[in-house]
A and B are shown apart, each in its own frame.
Chain A
Amino acid sequence: MSYLSTVDFTEDRAFVDRFQRTMRGDLELSWMDAPRERVACRPQNERRGLTFRDLDVGSYGFTDMPELIRENRSFAPRGAAMPEGLPDLQAEVNRKSEVWAYNIEGYYEEAMTRQWNATTDIPWGELQSVDLPEDIGKAYAQLLTFLTEVEMIATDVPAKWMGRLNADFFEVKNFIATQAMDEARHAEIFRKRALSTGWGLMRASAQNEFNLKFLRDADSFAEASLALHLQAEGMVLTLFRFSEYISPTEGDKKLFRLVMQDEARHVGYGMQHLKWVLDHFPERREAIHHHLDEAENFVFGGGYATEVLEPFIILSGKGLKKENIAEGVRITNAFQLKQADEYFERLAKCGLPERRERSRLWKMIELRKQSMAA
C-alpha cells in the first residue's frame, strides 16, 4: 500500500460535519451549476446504434482534441468539469500523435460488435470426432503451442500500456482494451485446441520468446504499436490466413477465420496509427526506421526456431514422406515471401515507401526470391 490518503477521514471534523448535514437533507448542489456544454447525442444511423462517432461533438469530441494534453492529468472524463484538487495521475503518454489513429472510433465499434466466444462458437464436438494422423496431429499441436505463446504476450502488451495513456485518449484506451480481450481469447482458443488434439501442448520456443520480449519491452507506446500492430500482427495475420489454408478440418478453418478477423482489425489500427504519426509527427520517421531495423532483425532470427518452421512444412505438405516435405517446403517458402511482401506493402501505404530500400530483411527476401527463381 504505497499510496496513502493525506487525510484520516474518521478524524476530520469538517468532513464528518458535512457528511452529517448531507445525510440530514441539507444538500450543497454546487455540482449542478458546473458550466458544461449541454448535448443530446443521437445515432446518425439507427441500425448501427449510438456510436462514439455520434458523440464527437464540442468539448466531448475527439476531432478538436489538441496534440498535447496539458490540462487533464486526472481520470476526469473528457468534457467533464474539472474542479481544483484533482490528482495528477502522471500519465506517461500525453501526445495525441503517439496513440491516435484515423477511424479509431470505428475500429472500437467494430471490435465490440464482432466479439465471439471460444467456448461456444467452435464446433468442438465435431473436432473431437476427427482423428488426425500422428505427424499432422503433432505438427498441429506444435503450431498451436507457438500461437498460444504469441497470443499471451499480445495480451500483455496492450494491457501494459492501457493505464499509461492520458484519460483524454478515451477511444484509444477502449480500443486497446478490446484488443487485450481479443488476444486473451486467442490464447484461450489455441490452448483449448491444442489440448483437444490428443497431443496437448508441445515445446515452447526460445527464439520466438526473444522476439516477444522485444515487443513487450518497447520504450514507448508508439514503438510498441509499430512492432506489435504492424510488424508482428501483420505477419501473424498472414500466418492465420496460411493456417486457415492448411487447416485439416472445417472446424479449424472456422477457428482461424475468427482469429483472423480480430488480427486484421488490430493491423488496421496499426496502419491508421502509423499514417497519423507520419502526418502529424513527421520527425519520428527516423526513430521508426531504427525500431523497425531491430524488429526485423528478430523476425529474421526467427528462422532459428525449427519448432515453429517445421510444423508449417509438415502441415502444408500434409505429412513427413519425402514428397510431402518437398511440397511443404515449396508452400512454406511461398507463405514466407507473401508474409514479407504484405508487410512492406502495408508500410509503403502508410507512408514509408523507402523502407524496402533501407531494410536488410527486404534485401534478404530479394536474394531468396532470386535464388528460388534460379
Chain B
Amino acid sequence: MRAERERFSRLGFFDTTFGVRISPDDGGEPAEFALRFEVFDCVRVVEGLAGVETDFVVEGPLGAWREMFDTIHALGAADTTQSLNTLTHFGERLRVRYDDPDGHDKLYRFAESIQEFLDLSARVDYTYPDGSRPPARRDEPRRTAR
C-alpha cells in the first residue's frame, strides 16, 4: 500500500479499523484478523478480534473469500460480481457485522479505498491454507454488460 502512496493519497483520508472473519468450509473455527488504516496507510494487521474495537467485521465462508480473491488475481481487480459491496449488500456471500451504524457506514465512507486495497492482492504471490494458488492473470476484459 505504501508503494501505491500516490494512488491512496488521491483517494483521501482512510481512517477505520475493521475485522475479517473467514469460516472454513468444513465448519471449523474461523480465522480472524483486524486491519487498521490511518491517514493513507494500513498501519496494523493483527490476528484475532478479541479486545479489538472494530467499526465493522466482514465475515463469510472461505469459499466466498476465495472466489473473490481468485477473481481479483485473475483479472487484476474485482469484476461486477465480486466487488465487496456487491458481495455484502444483501449478505448473500459475505455478511457485515457491526454494533454501531456509524461504524458500519465507514464501509461506505471508504468504499473505494477498501476496494482498491483488496484489488492490490492481485499483485501478491500467495497460497491458500490447502497449499493451492490463485489462478494466474488472464488477459481479458473484466467488464460485462449483463
Contact = CB atoms under 8 A, between A and B. Distances in A.
Interface in A102-141: 109-110, 112-115, 126, 130-133, 136
A136 B146 CA distance: 9
A109 B146 CA distance: 38
Interface of chain A, main secondary structure: helix
Contacts of B108: 237, 240-241, 260-261, 263-264
Contacts, number: 105
B13 interface: yes
B145 A248 contact: yes
A256 B85 CA distance: 10
Nearest to B77: A250
A132 B7 CA distance: 31
Given A48-B39, A253-B80, A265 B109 contact: yes
A318 B101 contact: no
Contact of B80 (A112, A126, A237, A250): A250
Q: Please classify how large the interface on chain A is, using the bins under 10, 10 to 19, 20 to 34, 35 or more.
A: 35 or more
Given A45-B39, A244-B83, A250 B110 contact: no
B105 A247 contact: no
Given A114-B12, A249-B144, A260-B111, A241 B85 contact: yes
Given A115-B12, A250-B80, A47 B143 contact: no
Contacts of A136: 145-146
B23 interface: no
Contacts of B142: 250
Nearest to A130: B145
A258 interface: yes
Contact of A338 (B41, B77, B90): B90
Contacts of B109: 110, 261, 264-265, 268
Interface of A: 45, 47-48, 109-110, 112-115, 126, 130-133, 136, 237, 240-242, 244-245, 247-251, 253-254, 256-258, 260-261, 263-265, 267-268, 271-272, 318, 331, 334, 338, 342, 345-346, 349
Most interface-central of A132, A258, A261, A338 (chain B CB within 10 A): A261
B113 to A, nearest CB: 8
Interface string B108-146: 111110010000000000000000000000000011111
Contact of A249 (B77, B80, B102, B115): B80
Contacts of A346: 101-102
Interface string B72-106: 00000111100101100110000000001110011
Contacts of A237: 105, 108
Interface string B10-50: 01110100000000000000000000000111000000000
Nearest to B100: A349
Given A114-B11, A115-B12, A268-B109, A249 B86 contact: no
Interface residues of B, number: 32
Given A113-B13, A247-B80, A47 B40 contact: yes
B105 A264 contact: yes
Nearest to B15: A110
28 contacts: A47-B41, A113-B12, A115-B12, A130-B145, A132-B145, A133-B145, A237-B105, A244-B89, A245-B85, A245-B89, A249-B143, A249-B145, A250-B143, A253-B86, A254-B112, A257-B85, A257-B111, A257-B112, A258-B112, A261-B111, A263-B108, A264-B108, A264-B111, A268-B109, A271-B102, A318-B146, A334-B90, A346-B102
B79 A250 contact: yes
